[in-house]
Amino acid sequence: MNIFVVNSGSSSIKYQLFRWPAQQPVCSGLVERIGYPNATITHKVFTAADAPQETRRTLALPDHEAGLREVVALLTDAAHGVLRDPAEVEVVGHRVVHGGESFAATTQINEEVKAEIRRLFALAPLHNPANLLGIDVAERIFPRARQIAVFDTAFHQTLPEHAFRYALPEQLYTEERVRVYGFHGTSHQYVAQQAATYLGQPDARLVTLHLGNGCSAAAVHAGRCLDTSMGFGPLTGLVMGTRTGDLDPSVVLHLMGQLGYSAEQISTLLNKESGMLGLTGLSDMRDITRALEQGDARATLAYDLYAYRIRKYIGAYAAALGGLDAVVFTAGVGENDALVRRKACEGLAFLGIELEEQENQQRRPGIREISKPGARVKVLVVPTNEELEIARQCAALLAG
């Protein structure tokens, strides 16, 4: 069986084609910097013996639809393609960011499911529209395939009520479902499981830090999520590429009441113009690193603010878990940015967190241990693989 997985992030599309049940990746790819004139597509084809064959293109991609069209052209390309005919794909697994309370589990997509994904647009404006577009495009390109949704919110359904409820009048929860949902669940679940296996400790207490364009922290004990930093929508918690993270709602009241912002302007401000972009004028961490190296004061402050917020969540979640076995860094920034990891762990020796800076600076594939030998808490870099986890969940749904 061929399973094609589409993972639309806010600034990227990742995809992988798997042969199942071998769990063998046939090709994978990444479309980055969507919305910029210098978007790139990196497409890798895996062959049994050799290193993967890589094709890289730089082009202008105005939106996710243009990106997906390029991906499908590559999949069936005469030179680099891996499919003769799109009909060879039997299952398409889609990452869907917001599933609300309707979808706690992996779900076969039908019109009703699509309507619910659309109903949740306002709560995840950077993601659900791109996710639904991916589904519509995939239905046209792979009309015979089963389309399956795997929700970012699903892993967080184990949150206890004292963690998922807000201190708001009860009716807003019971009638309007205003509560913490949490996001990046597929990634937190995948890296938590990888870390527990690596540590040989199925009941490990972990803080997992997904630091991509969107960023979130999760407190995981024995594979169950106990708390997470994103909430009703993917906006609270850590500082992100273009999103604020935690913000006093008084600021929103002030903007609306005193400065005349509309709800739509507030949404654009908080989702698209804030975070690292608001602080520095740049949202891609690689660009901000360059600015920092050139001594840019705004980039220095933004790095400090970003790392300080992570540090606070590590402390909070160590308390929520009643102890800590490991801190896990993952996603674009978490896997690649040694300075973020160093700053985020600074001053946490009292919790048993101590980095081995030489290891922190290494760039090796696979799971890496970057804490000092003998430190009470392990610090790990665990590459995420949301696509593999999505494919597993699709296969599990089909197996019944």
Ligand X SMILES: Nc1ncnc2c1ncn2[C@@H]1O[C@H](COP(=O)(O)OP(=O)(O)O)[C@@H](O)[C@H]1O
Ligand Y SMILES: CC(=O)OP(=O)(O)O
Q: Is residue 333 close enough to count as binding ligand X by CB under 6 A?
A: yes
354 is in an annotated binding site: no
Q: Say how many residues touch ligand Y, by CB under 6 A.
A: 11
Per rule CB under 6 A, is residue 321 in the interface with ligand X?
A: no
Q: Take residue 10 and report the two structure tokens written for it.
A: 């806010």
- H helices present in the chain, as ranges: 64-75, 111-119, 128-141, 161-164, 170-174, 185-199, 249-257, 263-272, 275-280, 285-293, 297-321, 331-336, 338-345, 357-361, 386-399
Whichever of 84 and 363 has its CB closer to ligand X, that residue is 363
333 touches which of ligand Y, ligand X, Mg ion, none (CB within 5 to 8 A by kind)? ligand X
CA–CA distance, 317 with 312 (Å, rounded to integer): 9
By CB under 6 A, is residue 332 in contact with ligand X? yes
Annotated binding-site residue? 335: yes
Which listed option, ligand X, Mg ion, ligand Y, none, makes contact with residue 337 (CB within 5 to 8 Å by class)?
ligand X
Which is nearest to 307 in space by CA: 362, 345, 361, 281?
345
Residue 213 annotated in ligand binding: yes
Our finding on whether 29 is near ligand Y (CB under 6 A) is no
Residue 393, C-beta contacts closer than 8 angstroms, at least 6 positions apart: 93, 106, 148, 150, 186
Residue 213 is a binding residue for ligand Y (CB under 6 A): yes
Which tokens hold the place of 118? 């659309």
Q: Is residue 93 part of the contact set for Mg ion (CB under 5 A)?
A: no
SS3 content of the chain, % helix, strand, coil (to 5): 40, 20, 40
Min dist. Cβ of residue 175 to ligand X (A): 32
2 annotated as a binding-site residue: no
Residues of span 257-316 touching ligand X by CB under 6 A: 284-286, 289
Q: What DSSP designation does 322 have?
A: T
CB-based contact 26:19 (threshold 8 Å): yes
Query: Of these residues, 152, 227, 325, 337, which one is catalytic?
Result: 152
Output the CA–CA distances (angstroms, integers) from residue 152 to 190, 232, 351, in the order listed: 12, 12, 30
Among 4, 5, 8, 9, binds Mg ion (CB under 5 A): 9
Q: Is 43 annotated as a binding residue?
A: no
The answer to whether 31 contacts ligand X (rule: CB under 6 A) is no
Active-site residue, 287 included: no
Residues that bind ligand X (CB under 6 A): 9-12, 212-214, 241, 284-286, 289, 331-333, 336-337
Catalytic residues: 152
Please state the residue numbers annotated as binding site for Mg(2+): 7, 386
Residues that bind Mg ion (CB under 5 A): 9, 212
Residues that bind ligand Y (CB under 6 A): 9-10, 97, 127, 152, 183-184, 212-214, 234
